[in-house]
Amino acid sequence: MTQASNKESRVQGNHSEFAHPLYFTSQGEEITWLMPDAQRGCAKSQQRLGEIYLKLRRNSDDFSQAYKWLFISVALGNDEARASLSAVHHVSDKDALDDGFDLVEAWFSEKFEFIEGGSELTWTAELLRWMFSVAKLH
């Protein structure tokens, strides 16, 4: 990540929480930078990751990753990610969406493994907000 003077060769990140725009040398660099916060439950980072994967559109894995991160972001209360999640539905095939949902289930299962049984039936909106409130402060 760098503060760039040569904008043509850089990818600008959409990170409004920072006073100055961040520039990355590639989308891969931005993905690497966002991933830790997204894994911790930061809905804005998850939204940005999903939008990057949606824009890449290299293969069905990109659509699955886009679906995963955008779905999780919306589930954690980020309504701004809804339009991008809808776009994934319009441009992806059923297999990519199914794979993406499997990734969503795996992500939530990992986060809730401490709950007896780890059942998705215990994933209420209130619990999600509580679980990831620290990430919102980050």
Higher per-residue pLDDT: 12 or 70: 70
Q: What is the pLDDT confidence band of residue 137, given thresholds at 50, 70 and 90?
A: very low
Angstrom distance (rounded) from CA 129 to CA 112: 13
pTM of this structure? 0.72
**Least confident window among 3-12, 35-44, 66-75:** 3-12
Helices 43-56 & 27-40 angle (0-180, nearest 10)? 140
Average pLDDT over residues 38-57: 93
Domain ranges of the chain: 39-137
Count of alpha carbons within 13 angstroms of residue 88, beta-carbon side: 34
Structure tokens at 17: 């929480």
Q: Residue 5 pLDDT > 50, yes or no?
A: no
128: Cα separation from own chain's centroid: 15
Which helix (DSSP H) or strand (DSSP E) does residue 24 occupy? strand 23-24
Summarize pLDDT for 71-88 with one digit per residue, the tens. 999 988 899 999 999 999
